[in-house]
Amino acid sequence: MKKKSQGIISWPVDDRPREKLLKNGAKTLSKSELLAILLRTGTKGTSAIDLARNILKKFSTFRNMTQTDARDWKEFKGLGSAKLAHIQAALEIGRRFREDELVAGKQKIKSAKELVDVLMPQMRDLKTEIFKVVYLDSDNRIIDIEDAAIGTVNHAMPIVREIIHGALQKFAVSIICAHNHPSARIKPSPQDEKFTKELSEAAKLMQIKLIDHIIIGSEGFYSFSDQGIL
């Protein structure tokens, strides 16, 4: 019999995605097998692995799945809100993993590009603006990364006083700010420039240095520091 017409439970044990993962590790699984584990079950006449393959056929990559809403998934029969929630949660865990790894390892930040490599996967595809603050010690090692504000699709309004207060609480010597532009344009707006100036001046009063303000787009970034503005 062809596997396509069978449920995964009827497959040989070594061919089942969950059992393969437990026996050989997650790295040995294909994208469709990993996704099938999240789906857990398929529908009548369609196994979880076939449903996963159909999903990947439509979206091609996991990254593309992060740019969707519920309407994009309606064509998949048997894919209810619970399964969709499992997929979205897994994608979000993947996006946050590198950031958590940086904080835990207290990595030293030497350039804007180094930080962008960590933040871009999580921020470039968001449909609303999110503003992050990276708190650093005297060696430019990361103390913490926090979301300072979440805005509308057009604008986030971080509060200078709260950012400085956070820096003082964490005994940070310097900070780097980063936010995304959902429009994909990375050129700073007049509001971005005004905010950067105000934050830099407020930080100096408290003997905290604003090292950079980074704007992240879908395929690139803008660094105030690299441009000689800070």
Domain 107-223: CATH superfamily is: Cytidine Deaminase, domain 2 (3.40.140.10)
State residue 6's pLDDT score: 54
pLDDT of residue 1: 40
pLDDT at residue 9 in the model: 60
Amino acid at 24: N
Amino acid at 149: A
Given this model, what pLDDT does residue 18 score?
86
pLDDT of residue 44: 77
Mean pLDDT, contiguous 10-residue spans, the chain (230 residues): 52 73 88 90 83 91 81 85 89 76 72 88 84 93 88 74 94 95 88 93 95 92 93
The pLDDT value given to residue 2: 43
Q: CA-to-CA distance for 186 and 102, rounded, in angstroms?
A: 24
pTM: 0.68
CA separation, residue 183 to residues 7, 187, 189 (Å)? 43, 10, 12
pLDDT at residue 10, as a whole number: 60
Please report, for the chain, the start and end positions of each structural domain, with discontinuous segments joined by +: 3-95, 107-223
Tokens of 181: 């532009």
**pLDDT for the residue 96:** 75
Residue-level pLDDT at 4: 47
Say what the pLDDT of residue 65 is: 86
